[in-house]
Amino acid sequence: MEYIDLHAVQERMTKRLFLNKLIKYVFLGAALFGLIVLAILLYRVYIDSIGWINFDFLNNKLSTSADRAGIKGAIVGTIWLMIIVGPVTMILGIGTAIYLEEYAKKGRLHSFIQTNISNLAGVPSIVFGLLGLTVFVRLFGFGSSIIAGGLTMSLLVLPIVVVAAQEAIRSVPGFLREASYGMGATKWQTVKNVVLPAAIPGILTGVILALSRAIGETAPLVVIGIPALLIPLPSGLFDNFTALPMQIYYWTIDSVLVDEYANLAAATIVVLLVVLFVLNSVAILIRNKFQKRY
Amino acid sequence: MLKTVSVKELIQQKKQSTSSTAVLEKVVPILLFAAAFISVLTTIGILFTLIYETILFFREVSILEFFSGTVLRPLSPVDPQFSILPLIMGTLLTTIIAMFVAIPIGLTTAVYLSEYATKNTRKILKPMIEVLAGIPTIVYGFFALTFVTPVLRDIIPGLEATNVLSPGIVMGIMIIPLVASLSEDAMNSVPNAMREGAMALGATQLEVTFRVVIPAAISGIIASFVLGISRAIGETMIVTIASGSSKNFTFDVTQSMQTMTAYIVEVTSGDAATGTTIYYSLYAVAMTLFVFTLSMNMLARHISRRFREVY
């Protein structure tokens, strides 16, 4: 006497296995979707920018005529911006991380600052722009200068550095600290001579990622009124400046009026993406080269 | 010959160096605390500017009009009207479209990476998908306006040159890596014993995924969706470039509409004079945006903490 219908079981099994296989490829397709879009995006930008990127484009200043327009001002402005963002986020970010990991007692204040930082990480960048506009541009009277843009951007990317530095410091094993204390070192000596050197690769990776975020971020700059007009090259912290993303923004919205502006925007995007690619590669290199396991 | 050292001098030296170290030991924590406090100051600064100017705004425009009217006409010289609903509508529609793209693709990508892909495929595929997250939003905006919109206009005849559909889709693509990577983390933390248990009972990989892994990781997955929504609400450059500046109150995604973020950009680049109602409306809109994104972020954290299953 048969209790199970082998044929029915077989049929059901085949169906289930087939569905499993089918779905696997559907999911693979979905996973590849993002990559396909990325490929199209890069290809489009590349096609649009062919013939527009050359030495003149990099070295010319802005011009109303599309043939002679260049992005030297934007490149110089972006470098100036990094001169502020780099040191400011490093000092504030690493300082915060050391305080939270090494000094703060794990109590209310600690968790308050910690929560505060993770909340800040989720605040839209345009709100930081408004903060910069209200505080740095208007209240402090910096105007749409390098220092106002740099400080705004620094606050925006600060959480990235803090979180990375905290993780790097946390991964320094306790026995290194204990050995240092055992040799008679004080707390700050231990932090400075033992913990920080061991954590530096992780911290640097975080700083570079923060910088690359700051280079590509546009919304805060638009809000604090960074121009993309014909302005002289900046020569000091209180000068007006423009930056690569601002240049892309203006050329993109004006491409409706002048067709060639779309090419200029695409060419600037290529420059920006190359810079970001180089920065991210450096970050990955540092992480791989100096990653220590204890 | 031996060099003679005075013990007294040595003690003196030691004392001096100790005193400078002692000062350093006291000063450094204060400096570090000051650095940490900057982040608190930033939050206070944001809250203070937003709340202060928002209060000034509501002195001139009633809260009722702001939240219940459907007309936003800030520049009209005769009868300017301030209602945030058209902006909320624009934000809502772009966000919904974005999530229609990001949730299914992000989730299936996560399932593929965590359940199906071999170790090597995963090693290559994951960083490549994360590249999407590193592309500046201004580049996505350019892509939406110069590529996606023209393609969509070929398919949908009535589509305006600036519309809600195209930036919504591109925003969704931007959010895929966020959803994928957070959901994958959640699924990865489901212990293998649970998968093996189900497989030992004869379940296929697909059944294991949908009946065991996803239910077990559901809190992390939902948290990733909520974070994605928050990101979509706060995104600025894509919508500023590709969705236009018409303050429409409609459900029609083929039309040009403005989001909260795009309104902020428009007003700040238009040099609104300090003290005018338009200037204050900027902060009222920003406050609304801030409240939306903050509550989304806190909700996400709450979900992933409250409902985390412990194995």
Residue A292 has pLDDT above 70, yes or no: no
Please write the tens of the pLDDT for every residue from B147-166: 999 999 999 988 888 999 99
Specify the range with the lowest mean pLDDT, choosing from A49-58, A102-111, B219-228, B246-255.
A49-58
Number of H helices, E strands in chain A: 12, 0
**Confidence grade of residue B127 (pLDDT, cut at 50, 70, 90):** confident
- Higher-pLDDT residue of A62 and B300 is B300
Is A168 in contact with A94 (CB distance < 8 Å)? no
pLDDT at A51: 82
Chain B CA closest to residue A225? B269
Please write the tens of the pLDDT for every residue from A222-263: 999 888 766 778 888 888 888 999 999 999 988 888 888 899
Dihedral, A185, A188, A193, A198 alpha carbons, nearest 10: 120
Residue A121 has pLDDT above 80, yes or no: yes
Query: What is the average per-residue pLDDT within A215-228?
Result: 90
With CA atoms as reference, report the closest residue to A167 among A113, A203, A120: A203
pLDDT at B310: 62
Which residues in B lie closer than 8 A to residue A260 (C-beta atoms)?
Answer: none
Whether A280 and chain B come into contact, CB under 8 Å, resolves to yes
CA–CA–CA angle A103, A109, A113 (5° rounding)? 85
Residue A66 has pLDDT above 80, yes or no: no
Whether B144 and chain A come into contact, CB under 8 Å, resolves to no
Residue B273 has pLDDT above 60, yes or no: yes
Q: How close, in Å, is residue A11 to chain B by CA atoms?
A: 15
- What residues contact residue B164 under an 8 Å CB cut-off, 6+ apart? B90, B93, B94, B97, B243, B253, B254, B255, B256, B257
- Higher-pLDDT residue of B71 and B48 is B48
CB atoms within 10 A of CB A106: 9
Helices (H), A183-259: 187-190, 196-216, 219-223, 244-254
Helix axes B218-234, A125-132, angle to 10 degrees: 40
- CA–CA distance from B42 to each of A64, A137, A225, B48 (Å)? 39, 15, 20, 10
Is B190 in contact with A82 (CB distance < 8 Å)? no
What are A145's strand-pairing partners?
Answer: A240
**What is the C-alpha R_g of chain B?**
27
ipTM for this model: 0.91
Question: What is the model's pTM?
Answer: 0.90
Name the 3-class secondary structure at A260: helix
Question: What is the rounded CA–CA span in Å between residue A283 and residue A165?
Answer: 14
Residue B1 has pLDDT above 60, yes or no: no
B207-222 per-residue burial string, b: 16 or more CB within 10 A, e: under 16: bbbeebbbebbebbbb
Of the candidates A113, A128, A133, the beta carbon closest to that of B268 is on A133
Please report the residues numbered 127 through 166 in chain A whose beta carbons come closer than 8 angstroms to any beta carbon of chain B: 127-131, 133-135, 138, 155, 158-159, 162
